[in-house]
Amino acid sequence: MSSVLPNGSQAAPLMAAPGFWRRALRHRSFVIGGVLTLLLILAGALSYVWTPWSPYEMDIASKLQPPSASHWLGTDVYGRDVVSLLLVGARASILVGVIAVGIGLVVGTALGLLASARRGWVEEGIMRLTDFSLAFPAILSAIMMTAVFGPGIVNAIIAIGIYNIPTFARITRASANAVWAREYVAAARACGKGAFAITMQHVLPNISAVLIVQSTIRFAIAILAEAALSYLGLGTQPPQPSWGRMLAEAQTMMWQAPLLAVFPGVAIGLAVLGLNLLGDGLRDLLDPRLARER
């Protein structure tokens, strides 16, 4: 790798560009996505200071109530307030999504970039490693991790994160290889740039669109994976609520209280929708070709 370090970082020059926010506010899917995502974050933040009821307080006498003035979305099987659970559950879901995708994104992208920068046996090795880890589906590694370290949100997050690594590695490598074949990379090499600098300054920015879109999709999958793990008792542990766990719990009540499954389902759906829209918007906005109007 070259001894030359990149001179200053890419520092998202577009974000800093004066018109960025003005343009962003005119981008429909960015705005809708942004609002939904902001709501998600706000819900999580709000739960730290206020919830209509305590999300841990059980009142078994008033279980499974339909939505009413006192319990806006009704109560669950332990008589807890669904709104409060949803608010607090947002935290766990954000955490799972962000960290699990973060792990996959950072490690997977790094591996993918390394593979395409080094080629040869490094690439071969990394790709075989991803093959190998794909043989362990998320649920399987989660089961194993749980069996060894005990269940819990942290292990669930790590298991999902690990599963994201090969996916990101493959996608990154494929798109990075395409970028490496471009003439502007040859130009950079002709300038004497090292593989590291080229990777950071040319390859990464040019595959960012792919990564952004993939991240938002993976975010959704991570939240749902947490739900599936909770369904198997491997995810978030009680009494900590998470949307996935609420969904999993409501699933056993599908026949008596179908609404209980609808609320967290809708919450997940909205969060995922928001992130996808935000991702699409961000991809457009960060693309200089689409960004500037003359």
Partner 1 sequence: MSLFLFKRILTLVATLIATSVIVFLVLEILPGNAAQMLMGADASPDAVAALATKLGLDQPAWTRYWHWVAGLLTGDLGNSYAYGSPVSELVLERLSLTIPLAVMAMGLTTVLALIVGVTAAARHNKLGDVGLMGLAQVGVAIPNFWFAILLILLFSVKLQWFSAGGFDGWGEGVGAGIKALLLPALSLAVVQAAILARITRSAVLEVMREDFVRTARAKGVSQRAVLWGHVLRNAMIPVVTVMGLQFSELLAGTIVVENVFSLPGLGKLIFQSISNRDLIVVRNCVMLLAAMVVIVNFIVDVLYAAIDPRLKASDL
Partner 2 sequence: MSSAQPHVPLLEVQDLVRHYTLPRESLFAPAPKVQALNGVSFSLEAGRSLGIVGESGSGKSTIARLVMALDRPTSGSVRLMGRDLHRLPRDQLQAARRDIQMVFQDPYGSLDPRQTVERIVAEPLAALSQSTRAQQRERAAESLAAVGLRSSDLHKYPHEFSGGQRQRIAIARALITRPSLIVADEPVSALDVSVQAQVLNLMQDLQQQFGISYLLISHDLAVVNHLCDDVCVLHRGLVVERGAPGDLFAHAEHPYTQALLAAVPRAEPPSVRKML
Partner 3 sequence: QSDKSSMVLGMTLEPPGLDPTANAAAAIGEVVLYNVLETLTKIHADGKVTPLLAESWEVSPDLKTYTFKLRRGVKFQNGEPFNAQAVKFSFDRAGGEKSTNKDKRTYAKLSTQVADDYTVVLINKEIDPNLPFLLGQPTAVIVEPKSVDTNATQPVGTGPYKLQNWVKGSSLVLTAWDGFRNPSSIKLKRVTFRFISDSAAQASALLAGDVDAFPRFTTRAVPQFQNNPRYQVILGGSRAKTIMSINNRKKPLDDVRVRRAIAAAIDRKAVIAGAADGFGVPIGSHYVPDAAGYVDTTGINPFDPEKAKKLLAEAGVKTPLELTMTLPPPPYARQGGEVIAAMLAKVGIVVKLQNVEWAQWLSGTYGGAHNYDLTIVSHVEPFDLDNYTKPDYYWGYDSKAFRDLYDKIMTTANEAERNKLLGDAQRMIATDSVNAFLYQPQFPTVAKKGVKGLWTAMPIFCNDLSSMSW
Query: Any contact of residue 35 with partner 1 (CB under 8 A)?
Result: no
Quote helix, strand, coil % in the chain, to nearest 5: 75, 0, 25
**Residue 24 phi/psi, 5° resolution?**
-60, -40
The three-state secondary structure class of 63 is coil
Interacting residues of 31 by C-beta distance below 8 A, sequence separation 6+: 24, 25, 281
User: Exactly one of 20, 56, 78, 136 binds partner 1 (CB under 8 A); which one?
Assistant: 136
Interacting residues of 119 by C-beta distance below 8 A, sequence separation 6+: none
Nearest approach, Cβ of 249 to partner 1 (angstroms)?
Answer: 12
10 touches 204 (CB < 8 A): yes
List the single partner that 13 binds among partner 1, partner 2, partner 3, none, CB under 5 to 8 Å by kind.
partner 2
Nearest approach, Cβ of 209 to partner 2 (angstroms)?
Answer: 10
238 touches 89 (CB < 8 A): no
Can you tell me the distance from the alpha carbon of 245 to that of 261, in angstroms, rounded to the nearest whole number? 10
Report the residue number, 120 or 192, with the smaller CB distance to partner 2. 192
Query: Any contact of residue 238 with partner 1 (CB under 8 A)?
Result: no
Which stretches of the chain bind partner 3, using CB under 8 A?
A: 56-58, 60, 63, 77-78, 146-147, 150-151, 233, 237-239, 251-256
Report the residue number, 117 or 247, with the smaller CB distance to partner 3. 247
Nearest approach, Cβ of 250 to partner 2 (angstroms)?
Answer: 45
User: Exactly one of 128, 187, 256, 290 binds partner 1 (CB under 8 A); which one?
Assistant: 128
